Amino acid sequence: MNKNQISAIANERIVFLDYLRVVACFMVILVHSIEPFYLGGEGTFVATLSDARWVTLLDSALRCAVPLFVMTSSYLLIPVKGDGIEFLKRRAQRVAIPFIVWSLLYAIVPMWGSGGDVDIAGNLSRLSLNYMPQAGHLWFVYMLLGLYIIMPIISPWLEQVSKRGERWFIAIWLLSTAVPFLRLAASRNGAEEIWGEASWNEFGILYYTSGFIGYVVVAHYIRKYIDWSAKKTFAIALPMFVLGYIIVALPFYQQLGDDYPISGGIELAIAWERSWCFATTGVALTAIATFLMFKLIKQPCRIYPLFAELSRLSYGIYLMHIFVLVAVFDIVSQWGLATPLVMVITAALTFCISALLTRIIALLPKSKFLIG
C-alpha cells in the first residue's frame, strides 16, 4: 500500500486512537496471561519469588489498559450529539448485542479442560444477574454500557462548563481515586467507612464524582484543551507515569512477603490488588500519561492500515480471547520457558489467533452482531 492510500485511510480516522486501541487490547490479553502466575488453587497462588517479581513488574504497568479503552471511546463520543435515545440504540447494536451473544457462548460452550461438564441451565440462570466466572473479562462491558447511559446526560454540561470548571471536576475525581487507600487507613483505626459512608449508606461524599466517569471527562478535556508539544508532553507525562507506576506496584509487591509458595483464598488476591483497581490513583496517573503520549502520534506509519484494521476488530478480539487464551496457555506453559516468556508468548499467540478468527467472522453476513 502506497503513501497516498495510507493517507486516505488515516484522513478518515484519528490515527493515534487506532494505535492506542490495539495496544490496549494487547495489554488486556497480557494481563490475563499473567493471572495464572498469581491466581490458582483455592484462589491465590504464587509459586516462586521470581514469579512474584515478574507479576509485579509487568502487570503493574498494564493496569491502565481498561481506562485507556474508556478514554478512547470517550474521546470519540463525548459530548454526544443529537438525540440521546438514538445514541443508545447505536451503542446497543455496536456493543450490547455482541456482548449478549458471547455471554451465551461462554455459558453453553465447554471451556478447554472442562471435559464438557457444563451446567448450561445454571449458567443461563446466572446470566440474568451477572457474567460467567470463566468469562470474568465481560465485567468491562457492563461498566461500559453504564457509561453510555450517562454520556447523553453529562454531555450538555460538558458543552457549557468552563475550562476551570472541568479542571475542578477532574481534581475532585482524582481525590476520589484515593478513597480505597483512605478506607484502608480508616480500618487500621477501627473505622470501616469514611466521609458519610455507613452500613446503611454506601454513597459517601465523593461517590458521585468517582469511578470511570472521571476517565470520560479527562478524555474530553484532553481533546478540547490539550495540544502540547512533544517536549512539554514528555516533561509532564513521563514523571506522571513513573509516579503512578510506583503507586500501583509498590503496595502490591510489599504484601507478597518472602515465604514461597504463597496460597490462599481469593480474598487474599483482592487485598493484594487494592492498588491495581482501575479507578485508583496510580492507575489513573499511568492511564492519563499513556494517553497523552500516544496523542503525540500525528502521522500514520507504513503498517498503519494493519493497526486500523485491528482497531476495527478489537472489540471482537476482546470478547473471544478467553476461549483462545485458556487453550494457548495450556500449551505454552508446557514448553519449559521462563515465566516472562510464557506470559508474553501466550498473549501474543492469543492476540494473533483471536484477531484472525475475528477477521474471518467479519466476512460473514450480519457479523456486526457478533463482533460489533
A 10 A CB-CB count for 147 gives 20
Q: Which pLDDT score is estimated for 111?
A: 67
Query: For residue 241, what are the CA distances in angstroms to 52, 109, 163, 257?
Result: 22, 40, 24, 26
Q: Which set of grid coordinates corresponds to residue 244? A: 503512578
Place of cell 503520549: 293
Rounded to 10 deg, the angle between the 281-294 and 230-254 helix axes is 150
pTM of the shown model: 0.93
Query: For residue 206, what are the CA distances in angstroms to 169, 177, 245, 365?
Result: 11, 9, 24, 46
Q: Which pLDDT score is estimated for 160?
A: 95
Torsion of CA 281, 282, 285, 288, to 10 degrees: -100
What's the number of domains the chain is made of? 1
Q: How much of the chain, in percent, has pLDDT values that exceed 70?
A: 94
Please give the single-letter amino acid code of residue 146: G
In the chain, which residues have pLDDT < 70? 1-12, 41, 111-117
Q: Which pLDDT score is estimated for 6?
A: 56
pLDDT tens-digit series, residues 222-258: 999 999 999 999 999 999 999 999 999 999 999 887 8
Q: Which pLDDT score is estimated for 112?
A: 56
**Full domain range(s) for residue 306:** 3-371
65 neighbors 22 (Cβ within 8 angstroms): no
